[in-house]
């Protein structure tokens, strides 16, 4: 499982990046979500890597 935390704000970001953040469920700075570690989510994380922090957790 991956714990994804939004570390930078959404203001002024491109629409495609905002859609990825919405899909991940990240709306506020320092908000975290836990998602499965699969290629779909890895690709989404790569798209917004400069905005989020990711760590692996057991689950």
Q: Is the pTM of this model over 0.75?
A: yes
Q: What is the mean pLDDT of residues 3-26?
A: 97
Average pLDDT value over all residues in the chain? 97
The answer to whether 51 touches 17, Cβ cutoff 8 Å, is: yes
CATH of the domain at 51: 3.30.1390.20
Residue 59's pLDDT band, with cuts at 50, 70 and 90, is confident
What range does the domain containing 32 cover?
2-56
d(C-alpha 37, C-alpha 27), whole Å: 21
User: Which residues, in sequence order, are CB contacts of 58 under 8 Å at separation 6+?
Assistant: 1
d(C-alpha 33, C-alpha 12), whole Å: 22
For the chain, what is the domain count? 1
């Amino acid at each position: 499982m991956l714990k994804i935390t939004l570390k930078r704000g959404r203001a002024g970001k491109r629409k495609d990046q905002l859609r990825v953040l919405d899909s991940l469920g990240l709306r506020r700075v320092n908000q975290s979500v836990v998602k499965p570690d699969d290629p779909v989510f890895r690709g989404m994380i790569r798209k917004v890597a400069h905005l989020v922090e990711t760590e692996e957790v057991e689950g």
